[in-house]
Amino acid sequence: DIVMTQTPLSLSVTPGQPASISCKSSESLLHSDGKTYLNWYLQKPGQPPQLLIYELSNRFSGAPDRFSGSGSGTDFTLKVSRVEAEDAGIYYCMQSVQVPLTFGGGTKVEIK
Amino acid sequence: EVQLVESGGGLVQPGGSLRLSCAASGITFSSSWMSWVRQVPGKGPVWVSRISPDGSRTNYADSVKGRFTISRDNAKNTLYLQMNSLRAEDTAVYYCIRGGWSLDIWGQGTMVTVSS
């Protein structure tokens, strides 16, 4: 199974400041079709995870443009250009290049 | 409005069975891969299974293989998860999700508790 490792475990950010979360995979997430199967989710309390970024860097419908995904191979980053209060929650990366799909352990983001 | 609504969760004894259902609306269900993911409250999500649009292809996590069966009825826009030989470690919220790779639309989940 591909192991997904996220850092940091938690983050406290002042509104308006940038934030960055790292995700590393134990194997390359680059598929032979040229796509990188790395997604980012945000789970707010009492809600299911919501998709922010799919296939490395594509923002899902409704995801604010302050969220961006980057990286390659086994190293990935989610960046928030200017954090807002509504961005609080737990962020997960997930790989879907091979079965079983696996999630990172999560990064809890607190807004100061 | 896009909506996935799970049902069928509840309390079951170890060794028992449950069938979860997921009613889809607002999506082209018959052309969508569908998945199940579970999450123990306070822990991270764990992928369980996925099924192709026509139901001919399925994948399972090793932890449920041979015990759980994913299926669908495209005429009813409904996804199922038949869970047999349930164990305490199957206790979790079960989410129905559109997609097999980019899991993009999630239901609100249904709680399954396996306990005597």
Q: By the 8 A CB rule, do A36 and A102 touch?
A: no
Nearest to B44 among A39, A60, A92 (CB): A92
What is the rounded distance in angstroms from the CA atom of residue B106 to the CA atom of residue B51? 15
A13 membership: H or E segment, kind and range:
strand A10-13
Q: Is B104 on the interface with A (CB under 8 A)?
A: yes
Q: pLDDT at position A94, please?
A: 98
Query: CA of A53, closest CA in chain B: separation in Å?
Result: 9
CA-angle at B62, arms to B60 and B63, nearest 5° = 105
- What tens digit of pLDDT does each residue of B6-57 get? 999 999 999 999 999 999 999 999 999 999 999 999 999 999 999 999 999 9
Q: Is B42 on the interface with A (CB under 8 A)?
A: no
A22 membership: H or E segment, kind and range:
strand A19-25
Q: What is the mean pLDDT of chain B?
A: 97
b or e along A41-53 (b: 16 or more beta carbons within 10 Å of the residue's beta carbon)?
A: bbbeeeebbbbbb
What is the rounded distance in angstroms from the CA atom of residue B84 to the CA atom of residue B57? 20
Query: CA of A59, closest CA in chain B: separation in Å?
Result: 11
Q: What mean pLDDT do residues A69-81 have?
A: 97
**Residue B40, by phi and psi: left (phi above 0), alpha (psi -120 to 50) or beta?**
beta
Which DSSP string corresponds to A61-104? TT--TTEEEEEETTEEEEEESS--GGG-EEEEEEE-SSSSPEE-
Do A103 and B108 lie within an 8 Å CB cutoff? no
- What tens digit of pLDDT does each residue of A41-63 get? 999 999 999 999 999 999 999 99
CA-angle at B54, arms to B48 and B56, nearest 5° = 65
Per DSSP, chain B holds a count of helices (H) and strands (E) of 0, 11
Amino acid present at A1: D
Q: How confident is the model at residue A103 (pLDDT cuts 50, 70, 90)?
A: very high
